[in-house]
Copies of this chain bind each other. A is one copy, B any other.
Amino acid sequence: MLIREFEGGRCLLARLDHGAEIIGQITSLIRENYIRAGHLNVIGALDQAEIGYYDQLSHSYHGIQINEPVELASCSGNISLLAGQPYAHVHAVLSGMKGTVWAGHLTSGRIFAAELYVQELAGPDLIRSLDTVTGLNLWREE
Protein backbone atom coordinates (compact mmCIF):
# COMPACT_ATOMS: atom_id res chain seq x y z
CA MET A 1 0.00 0.00 0.00
CA LEU A 2 1.33 3.43 -0.95
CA ILE A 3 0.03 6.15 1.39
CA ARG A 4 0.63 9.90 1.15
CA GLU A 5 -0.45 12.39 3.80
CA PHE A 6 -1.77 15.86 3.02
CA GLU A 7 -3.34 18.85 4.69
CA GLY A 8 -6.63 20.29 3.47
CA GLY A 9 -5.98 23.20 1.09
CA ARG A 10 -8.43 25.38 -0.84
CA CYS A 11 -12.00 24.20 -1.31
CA LEU A 12 -13.70 25.19 -4.55
CA LEU A 13 -17.27 25.08 -5.76
CA ALA A 14 -17.68 25.71 -9.47
CA ARG A 15 -20.47 25.86 -11.98
CA LEU A 16 -19.10 24.34 -15.16
CA ASP A 17 -20.13 25.70 -18.57
CA HIS A 18 -23.27 24.54 -20.34
CA GLY A 19 -22.27 22.85 -23.61
CA ALA A 20 -18.62 22.31 -22.65
CA GLU A 21 -16.84 18.95 -22.29
CA ILE A 22 -16.74 17.98 -18.61
CA ILE A 23 -13.29 16.33 -18.30
CA GLY A 24 -11.76 19.22 -20.26
CA GLN A 25 -13.40 21.74 -17.92
CA ILE A 26 -12.22 19.94 -14.79
CA THR A 27 -8.71 19.67 -16.22
CA SER A 28 -8.63 23.38 -17.10
CA LEU A 29 -9.81 24.33 -13.63
CA ILE A 30 -7.21 22.27 -11.77
CA ARG A 31 -4.34 23.33 -14.05
CA GLU A 32 -5.21 27.04 -14.03
CA ASN A 33 -5.50 26.94 -10.24
CA TYR A 34 -2.34 24.84 -9.72
CA ILE A 35 -4.21 22.09 -7.86
CA ARG A 36 -1.67 19.25 -7.87
CA ALA A 37 -3.53 16.86 -5.55
CA GLY A 38 -7.13 16.64 -4.44
CA HIS A 39 -10.50 14.99 -4.18
CA LEU A 40 -13.49 15.96 -6.31
CA ASN A 41 -17.22 15.37 -6.60
CA VAL A 42 -19.71 16.50 -9.27
CA ILE A 43 -23.48 16.40 -9.58
CA GLY A 44 -25.44 17.58 -12.58
CA ALA A 45 -26.61 16.40 -15.97
CA LEU A 46 -24.97 15.72 -19.35
CA ASP A 47 -26.57 15.59 -22.78
CA GLN A 48 -24.15 12.97 -24.06
CA ALA A 49 -21.34 11.00 -22.47
CA GLU A 50 -18.74 8.30 -22.87
CA ILE A 51 -18.12 5.80 -20.10
CA GLY A 52 -15.01 3.61 -20.13
CA TYR A 53 -14.81 0.07 -18.89
CA TYR A 54 -11.29 -1.32 -18.42
CA ASP A 55 -10.76 -4.85 -19.69
CA GLN A 56 -8.57 -6.31 -16.95
CA LEU A 57 -7.40 -9.15 -19.20
CA SER A 58 -6.56 -7.31 -22.42
CA HIS A 59 -5.47 -4.10 -20.60
CA SER A 60 -7.54 -1.83 -22.83
CA TYR A 61 -10.47 0.52 -22.30
CA HIS A 62 -13.80 -0.17 -23.98
CA GLY A 63 -15.83 2.98 -24.46
CA ILE A 64 -19.60 3.03 -24.16
CA GLN A 65 -21.06 5.97 -26.05
CA ILE A 66 -24.30 7.35 -24.57
CA ASN A 67 -26.18 9.50 -27.03
CA GLU A 68 -28.99 10.73 -24.82
CA PRO A 69 -29.43 13.13 -21.91
CA VAL A 70 -28.38 11.66 -18.56
CA GLU A 71 -28.35 12.64 -14.92
CA LEU A 72 -24.87 12.66 -13.41
CA ALA A 73 -26.11 10.74 -10.37
CA SER A 74 -22.67 10.14 -8.89
CA CYS A 75 -19.31 11.47 -9.98
CA SER A 76 -16.17 11.41 -7.89
CA GLY A 77 -12.46 11.23 -8.34
CA ASN A 78 -9.01 12.36 -7.42
CA ILE A 79 -6.35 14.74 -8.66
CA SER A 80 -2.66 13.88 -8.94
CA LEU A 81 0.18 14.33 -11.42
CA LEU A 82 0.53 12.59 -14.78
CA ALA A 83 3.37 13.52 -17.15
CA GLY A 84 4.14 16.53 -14.95
CA GLN A 85 0.63 17.99 -15.11
CA PRO A 86 -2.38 17.92 -12.76
CA TYR A 87 -4.66 15.09 -13.90
CA ALA A 88 -8.21 14.23 -12.78
CA HIS A 89 -9.23 10.58 -12.59
CA VAL A 90 -13.03 10.50 -12.54
CA HIS A 91 -15.66 7.75 -12.19
CA ALA A 92 -19.40 8.26 -12.60
CA VAL A 93 -22.87 6.77 -12.50
CA LEU A 94 -25.29 8.06 -15.15
CA SER A 95 -29.03 7.51 -15.57
CA GLY A 96 -31.20 7.98 -18.62
CA MET A 97 -34.82 9.00 -18.90
CA LYS A 98 -36.05 5.44 -19.44
CA GLY A 99 -34.30 4.23 -16.30
CA THR A 100 -31.10 2.84 -17.82
CA VAL A 101 -28.07 3.19 -15.53
CA TRP A 102 -24.48 3.26 -16.79
CA ALA A 103 -21.40 3.33 -14.53
CA GLY A 104 -17.63 3.36 -14.89
CA HIS A 105 -14.71 5.60 -15.80
CA LEU A 106 -16.00 8.95 -17.12
CA THR A 107 -14.09 9.52 -20.36
CA SER A 108 -16.02 12.54 -21.59
CA GLY A 109 -19.41 14.21 -21.44
CA ARG A 110 -21.12 17.31 -22.74
CA ILE A 111 -22.41 19.42 -19.85
CA PHE A 112 -26.06 20.36 -19.51
CA ALA A 113 -25.43 21.55 -15.93
CA ALA A 114 -22.62 20.51 -13.59
CA GLU A 115 -21.63 21.57 -10.07
CA LEU A 116 -18.10 20.66 -9.06
CA TYR A 117 -16.61 20.43 -5.58
CA VAL A 118 -12.82 20.26 -5.29
CA GLN A 119 -10.90 19.69 -2.05
CA GLU A 120 -7.30 20.64 -2.73
CA LEU A 121 -4.73 18.56 -0.87
CA ALA A 122 -1.47 20.28 0.08
CA GLY A 123 1.56 18.07 0.48
CA PRO A 124 3.91 15.80 -1.44
CA ASP A 125 3.73 15.21 -5.19
CA LEU A 126 1.72 12.13 -6.01
CA ILE A 127 2.77 10.91 -9.45
CA ARG A 128 1.17 8.43 -11.86
CA SER A 129 3.30 6.21 -14.07
CA LEU A 130 2.73 2.98 -15.94
CA ASP A 131 2.13 -0.06 -13.77
CA THR A 132 2.90 -3.11 -15.88
CA VAL A 133 0.80 -5.47 -13.71
CA THR A 134 -2.45 -3.65 -14.51
CA GLY A 135 -1.49 -1.63 -17.60
CA LEU A 136 -2.76 1.51 -15.83
CA ASN A 137 -1.05 4.75 -14.84
CA LEU A 138 -1.02 4.32 -11.06
CA TRP A 139 0.57 6.12 -8.13
CA ARG A 140 4.13 4.88 -7.71
CA GLU A 141 7.03 5.37 -5.37
CA GLU A 142 9.19 8.16 -6.81
Residue of B nearest to A44 (CB): B91
Q: CA–CA, A139 to B3, complex, Å?
A: 28
* Chain A 65-100: CB-based contact to B (< 8 A → 1; otherwise 0): 000010111101110100000000111111101010
Check B94 against A103 for contact (C-beta < 8 Å): yes
Tell me if A49 counts as interface (CB < 8 A to partner B). Answer: no
On chain B, the residues within 8 Å of A15 by CB distance are 1-2, 138-139
Within 8 A of B (CB), among A26-40: 28-29, 33, 37, 39
Check A13 against B138 for contact (C-beta < 8 Å): no
Partner of A113, one of B69, B77, B134: B134
Check B53 against A71 for contact (C-beta < 8 Å): yes
Partner of A43, one of B77, B102, B134: B77
* Chain A 40-66: CB-based contact to B (< 8 A → 1; otherwise 0): 010101010000011111000010100
On chain B, the residues within 8 Å of A134 by CB distance are 18, 112-113
Within 8 A of B (CB), among A87-132: 89-95, 97, 99, 101-105, 112-113, 115, 117, 119, 121, 123, 126, 131
Check A74 against B74 for contact (C-beta < 8 Å): yes
On chain B, the residues within 8 Å of A53 by CB distance are 71, 95, 97
